[in-house]
Each structure stands twice: as structure tokens, then as C-alpha cells.
Amino acid sequence: MKTTHLRLLALVAGIAIFDFLFYLEAPGLNALLLVPVILTLVRLSGRNPFGNRFLIISSAGLLLAGIAVSLYSSATSILAYFGTFVIFLGFSLEPELKSILATMFQSGLNFFMAIPVFGSELSEILKIKKMAPTAWKVMKLLLIPLILLFLFTTIYRFANPVFDHWFYYLDLFFRSILEWLEKYLEIPHIIFLLFTAGLISGIIYRGRHTTGRMIEEPQTDELTRWRKKRARFGSYTLRMTALKDEYRIGIMLLFLMSGLLFLVNISEIVWISGSYLDRSAHEMSKQVHEGTGLLILSIFLSMVIMLFLFRKNLNFYPGKKKLISGSGIWILLNGILGLQVGIQNWFYISQYGLTYKRIGVFFFLLLVLTGLALLWIKISRKKTIWYLIKSNSWSFYVLFVLLSLIPWESIMVTYNLRKNAPSVDVQNLLELSPRTLYLLDERKELLFKAAPERKESIEKSLNERIEDYMDWNNSLSWQSWSLSDRLAYLHFHK
């Protein structure tokens, strides 16, 4: 079978499978089942889904995200699934790519650029250009006879009951087709099918564009020495003098900033070990989030200064060891500052419980510490800014996929409603995903104890949400199955 014919069959099969798995369904087991379908579609399109290490890593990431969706069906896992799919598709379209940034542009544009390719292949298969004149001629010849045939058949059926009975099964056949069309081709379903067709065609057909390669090919990981042509006598001496001045400025800057950051870290240690735990939730929250914001600014400015200092030929300056050592000290002090914000956040959680924002602070701190380590590698090993961007994007990818594999909402409920919890934010717990309702129901006595004056309203709100959730859950099919939904179902059907 020709590749063009195989791709067309894969497109039709892919649309049918996606429609069966996802139409009027919630994300769950269907997301995991779609992973082998995506890999098969890529293979049928003539590409190898496991052709290199980046394809293997990205397909593994897609599989892990699919498992996370089938387990928890959380917003984090769904977002990770979508992201890993886009990245895997980009690598499958351009196996030479190595960066996530380039693959995202490659796959994003491919959903638009694949449509003309599909149209061209379909035209070739159906031979539309050759057959169009003949088909139009046949249609013109048959149009009037068919209209007259339908008209006289209708007249004879009304006139003769026996003749009309002969068409009974034909009527049933057409009626069943119309019922099917009425059921499955409603406006929302048509829109869903069009979206599905665009999605599947973007997987199967490779658009005629090389955006990813255009982004990546001019880039390199290794710094090269930048030389100017001599414009006049003594230009080399002038350049060396300018480079020496940059070196001296860098040394002074790093010395002053490291000293300042050292004092900041000492004051943070004194403050954390002193009055921090005595502060209110509002004060702790303000300090943690403001501290995180200032940390972002501090790290960002540090990176900008480092990148400015270690641009071009200063990386090849003969006496740069002191500058690199000073940079290492400054990076280390920034890392210590980040760890102290993490300690503050942990104290905050131990007193007032887990929330999405507090988990997000830890996630961000991991990214920051990874970014600082990569910045040190960039400086000490003469790497480019492109290396820094590429490496940081991969660290974000790995951390986010791992983040999606953890049932954060369940952890929030069980941790916040532990028996020795100093305080409980009842309202925050009641606003979590419905999939945590069975955990709240198991621990509702602790909820009532945390806010005894609101016992009736809490119980009423909880019961209403449970009833709505079970109605919604019962309306779904097996495609939407997830472990968290199953646990909730079993709890409420004891």
C-alpha cells in the first residue's frame, strides 16, 4: 500500500478513535490509551517514534503524563500531558532537534502547515484534477433523471399500498441513518470532529516548514573566541586594556555583592531562628511570597550580571580564575538564600497547612537551584546562553512531569487534617477538587472540630458537593475512569 493511502487510512482511524475516547468524556484512562495510538500514528506516517534519545525521553514523558491523568485527572497532570504531547510531536517531526523551545515552535506551526499537505495528498489519491471534469459531466447527465425518478416513485407509493410496502426496509435503513446523523452530527460534535481532524492531521502529516531547525541550527553550546580585525596600530593593546578594565569591574562587583548577600543570609538565619514562628499566617504568607518575589528578582539580576560579565572574550581572559571563583561564591550565596526561603515556606506549611501556592514555591525553588547550578556550568565550562536556555527548559520539563505524578490534592487533605494540626483552613479544603470529597468525608469530624460554629453549613456544603459529584460521575463512561474517581465511587457506595 502506498504511503499516501496509509496516511489517509491512519487519519480516518485516528479521528474515529479520538472521537470514541474523548467526546463527552472527562480526561482519565482515555488519555493513557491515546498514547499508543499517537505512537502508532507517527509510525504509520513514516516516522520512527523511538528514533533517538530525545524521542525516547519525550515519549516516556508522554507516557508518564498519561499515567498521571489516568490516576488523578488533575489540572497539573492534564497540563503536563498536553505539554509532553507537543514536545514529543516536535521531536518526531524534526528528529535532529535537541531543544524543547525549537520543538514547541515546530509542532505548534505544524498543526497549520499540515493542512495543505493533507489537501495535496488527498487530491493526488482521488485524482480530483483529472476526474473533476468527468464527474461534473456525469452529474449533469444524471441530475434530471434522478429528480424525476424520485418524484414518480413518491407518487406511485402514495397510489399503491403494495408498491409502498416494498420500500419499507429501505425506509428503515434511511431512517436509521438519519437518526445516527441527528445523534452524532450535532453542531458541538461537528466542531469536535473538525478539531480532532486538525489534531490528528498535525500528528500524521509533516508541514513543509523547518521552523525548529531555523531556530536551533545557528546556535551552539560552546563559546568561541570573538576577534575583531585590526583597524589601526595598537588596537590589540587597547582591546586588552578594555578587557582588563572589565575584569577589574567584575571583581569589585562580585566582592561587594557577595559581601552584601552574605549579610542578608546571616540576617535571614537570625530572623528564622528567632521571631519568625511567632508571626501570624498573614505575616508569614506575606514574607514567604514577597521573599519569593525578591528572590526571583535577585536571581534574575544575578544571572543578567553574570551573563554580562562572561560575554565574549572575558571567558578567555588569562587571569579569570579569581573572577570565576568570585562568581561561584555569589552563586552559592544565592542558593543559600533560596534554601532559606524554602525553610520559611516549610515553617509556614507546618503551621498553616499545604496549599497550591506553597507547593508552587517549592517547585519554583527547585527550578531556581537547578538554574544556578546550570549557570555555574555555563561560566566554568565556557557555555553559551543558548546552552543555559536549553538546559533550563529540560529541567523544567523533567520537574513538571514528576510534579504531575504526585497526588497533591490528596496530600493536602490528609496533611492539613492531621490530628495535631495547629490550624485548618476549612474553606480552602472545601474548594478543592471533587475527587478529594471522599477524603473530606472520612475526616469530616476534624473539619467540624476546626470550625464548630460552621458545622451545619460545612455539612450541608459537603453533602451538596458529594451529590453533584456523584451525579456527574455516573454520567461518564469507562473512558473517563481514573483511580481517584474510582476510590471516591467505592467510598460513597459502601
Q: Name the average pLDDT for the chain.
A: 85
Contact 417, 443 (CB under 8 A): yes
Between 55-59, 312-316, 318-322, the lowest mean confidence (pLDDT) is in: 312-316
How far is it, in rounded angstroms, from Cα 485 to Cα 76?
A: 16
User: What is the per-residue pLDDT across 130-170, written as a single tens digit (0 to 9) for each?
Assistant: 665 676 677 767 777 878 777 878 887 777 787 777 777 77
The sign of the torsion formed by the CA atoms of 322, 325, 331, 333 equals negative
Nearest-angstrom CA–CA distance, 156 and 162: 10
**Which pLDDT score is estimated for 350?**
86
Please determine, for residue 234, whether its predicted confidence score (pLDDT) is greater than 50: no
Q: Is the pLDDT of residue 56 over 70?
A: yes
Within 10 angstroms of residue 219's Cβ, the number of other Cβ atoms is: 16
Please report which confidence band the pLDDT of residue 276 belongs to, taking 50, 70 and 90 as the band edges: low
pLDDT tens digits for range 361-406 = 899 899 989 999 999 998 888 888 899 999 999 999 999 999 999 9
The pLDDT confidence band at residue 95, using thresholds 50, 70 and 90, is very high
Please state, for a pLDDT cut of 70, what percent of the chain lies above it.
Answer: 87
* Whether residue 240 has pLDDT greater than 80: no
Q: Closest Cα partner for 393 from 92, 136, 83, 7? A: 83
Least confident interval from 88-102, 133-147, 328-342, 416-430: 133-147
pLDDT band at 289 (very low <50, low <70, confident <90, very high): low
425: left (phi over 0), alpha (psi -120 to 50) or beta: beta
* DSSP class per residue in 192-223: HHHHHHHHHHHHHSPPS--HHHHHHTT--SB-
Q: How far is it, in rounded angstroms, from Cα 441 to Cα 491?
A: 9
Check if the beta carbon of residue 21 is closer than 8 Å to that of residue 30. yes
pTM for the structure as a whole: 0.85
Helix axes 53-72, 75-93, angle to 10 degrees: 160
Predicted pLDDT at 274: 67
Whether residue 197 has pLDDT greater than 80: yes
DSSP state letters, 479-493: GG--HHHHHHHHHHT
- Whose CA is closest to 481, among 22, 27, 55, 43? 27
Confidence at residue 279, expressed as pLDDT on a 0 to 100 scale: 64
Per-residue pLDDT tens over the stretch 331-372: 999 899 888 888 888 888 888 889 998 899 899 899 989 999
SS3 8: helix
> Between 443 and 166, whose confidence is greater?
443
Residues 242-258 have pLDDT tens digits of 677 778 888 888 899 88
